[in-house]
Structure 1
Amino acid sequence: MPHISEQENKPMRNSPDEIDLMVVFRYLGELIGKVQRGVNSVFRIIYKRFLLIFSLIAIGLGLAFALFSLAKPYYTSSMTLVLAEIRNQFVDNQLQRLSVMVGEGNYEAVAEDLDINIDAARQIKEMSFSNLDENRIAEDSVLTGSPFEIELSLYNNVLFPTMEVALANYLENNRYFSKQKSIKQREVESMINRLKGEIAALDSVKTSAATPRGPVNGFVYGEPLDPANLFKESITMYQKQVELEASLEQLDNIQIVNGFAPRLKPTGPKLSLYLLIGGGIAFIIGTIVAVNLEKRKNSVKV
């Protein structure tokens, strides 16, 4: 079978895909080589122009320190709020509205919403917030009654207690929240008044049973009276009244769990960050200047 051996002896040709890969690898190799040569050249220039670059870095650090000295120090603290049976999205929208006004510098509106003076509003640098349980529920679920964390940055650390109360009142005095609170309050007060009336009526019955007048012989309207049961029922009703009166103190839609921690030392600005940015920018500028000087020098020689 000579034709088979001839086919086996023929050299195999590369497919177009294999040729393209070889070209790509060759191109990548050349590109990596150019990058390495460029990096080595830059390092040589930096070493050669070290005094120039070092001088520019020193100037950059000096300017960074000057800017740091002019920057106004600020203090950052956070507070935690817990909600009643209210959708967290409602509170999120309320806080987002306030955060936008702070970001835009609309201090007149901020002062009006928080019921503080304009000077105190101007001390707010930044405000952020987050749902603490946001990642614990499914995407298609509605988050309700989850705690919130508000982070506030102020230029005056003395104002944290004022802002704590102002933020809580800002959320609590929302029209929708206030309406829901009023409805619950009326319901609880109505139940308390009803219990008081029933307790008063039961007390009169207990008095009649304890000190009967005339030939009642322990009967009222033909029904026998058990003083022990009357006293038990009276105590049960009084306990319900006390519980309802206590619940009136818990009707607030927003309650502070942890208030703003007082800060004595500024949170920022950070000197290290200023120096890092200033020195980095100066180093880049110095490197560019050194490379251009070397190019001009080489072009003159040529």
Structure 2
Amino acid sequence: MHRLQEEKNQSSDEIDLRYVIDRIGAGFSNLFARIRYVMRVVLKRSLLMMLFLLLGAGISYGIYYVTKPYFTSSMTLMLANIRNEFIEDQLNKLSLMVAEENFEAVADRLDISPAAAQRIKEMSFSNLDADRVEEDSVLTGSPFRIQLSLYDRELFESMEPALTNYLENNRYFAKQKRIKQRQVENMVSKLKGEISSIDSMKTNVSEPKGPVNGFIYGQPIDPTNLYRESILMYKEQVKLEADLEKLDNVEIVTGFVPRLRPTGPSLIKYLAIGAIISFIIGTIIALNLESKKRRKSL
């Protein structure tokens, strides 16, 4: 009895599976039949379709002709030892203002004229080392790229200092820069005083003007040690003075490349989109005409 029940269940499952397969096959058959019908109608109404394609191409070319050309270029910046997400937050706000066409705010932030701000079409940015850092790690001091699309290619030259100053003038970054600058300048001033003192000692040792006992602070004077110490201090001073030149939190690695030809709009892209839209509209109208013709013939 139990065996008969299992065979009955198995037979029922096979019937259900066959039914599903048959329905799927019928669905594909109907789909292919519908596609063949649409293609027959399109070929039958080829003149109508050609008119719609020509109309779509003409409209697309007209839109392309009146669309302002734009130029796209990118610059790469290197950060100091600061978190990249701080820079991302600043650039996100600037990108939002550009997207919202808030040109007065953009001009104020970048310290450019409102007319120049209106020539900015789009701005985007990306971290170059984002894929090299683990998800639970903080990206710090990594280079990043800013891509800018402008309606005026001459504006790229002034946008480089405008963007770097915008990032550099962040209140937090500016404060940290001033603190570090004071520290380095104090160290340089201290080293200059020490070097001047050692130079005086070397002069006294090499050209004594009175009785010299040969001892300073209970130790014999060794001119060689004085010269060695002076050189070490001078090297440290030169290093710190070089550090003063590198206190900027943001430095340009590669600037915007001057563009001679516009990046867009693309005529081929406009024509392709126009052709697709006009083909779809023409197909719908052709199917409606064919449907009306069939109903009249019945």
Instruction: Find 2:177's aligned residue among 161, 164, 181.
Output: 181
Partner of residue 120, structure 1: 116
Deviation at 1:15, TM superposition (A): 4.4
Q: From the superposition, tell whether residues 221 and 36 of structure 1 become closer, same or farther in structure 2 (CA, over 3 Å).
A: closer
Matched, 1:94 2:90: yes
Contact 1:168/1:255 (CA < 8 Å) preserved in 2?
Answer: yes
Q: From the superposition, tell whether residues 98 and 26 of structure 1 become closer, same or farther in structure 2 (CA, over 3 Å).
A: same
Q: Residues 28-49 of structure 1, C-alpha deviation per residue, up to 9 Å, x if partnerless?
A: 1111111111111111111111
Partner of residue 251, structure 1: 247
Mapped to 1, the partners of 2:221 and 2:61 lie a distance apart of 89
TM-score normalised over the length of structure 1: 0.95
Please identify, of 19-28 and 134-143, the stretch whose mean Cα deviation from structure 2 is larger: 19-28
Matched, 1:152 2:148: yes
Mapped to 1, the partners of 2:210 and 2:39 lie a distance apart of 117
Matched, 1:21 2:17: yes
Matched, 1:270 2:266: yes
* SS of structure 1 residue aligned to 2:259: coil
Partner of residue 162, structure 1: 158
Partner of residue 43, structure 1: 39
* SS of structure 2 residue aligned to 1:212: coil
TM-score normalised over the length of structure 2: 0.96
Matched, 1:292 2:288: yes
Mapped to 2, the partners of 1:30 and 1:215 lie a distance apart of 119
Stretches of structure 1 that go unaligned for 5 or more consecutive residues are: none
Partner of residue 57, structure 1: 53
Mapped to 2, the partners of 1:292 and 1:234 lie a distance apart of 96
Matched, 1:67 2:57: no
Q: From the superposition, tell whether residues 213 and 11 of structure 1 become closer, same or farther in structure 2 (CA, over 3 Å).
A: closer
* SS of structure 2 residue aligned to 1:244: helix
| 1:124-139 equivalent positions in 2, closer than 5 A | 124-139=120-135
Q: Residues 70-121 of structure 1, C-alpha deviation per residue, up to 9 Å, x if partnerless?
A: 0000000000000000000000000000000000000000000000000000
Mapped to 1, the partners of 2:92 and 2:13 lie a distance apart of 55
Percent of aligned pairs with the same amino acid? 56
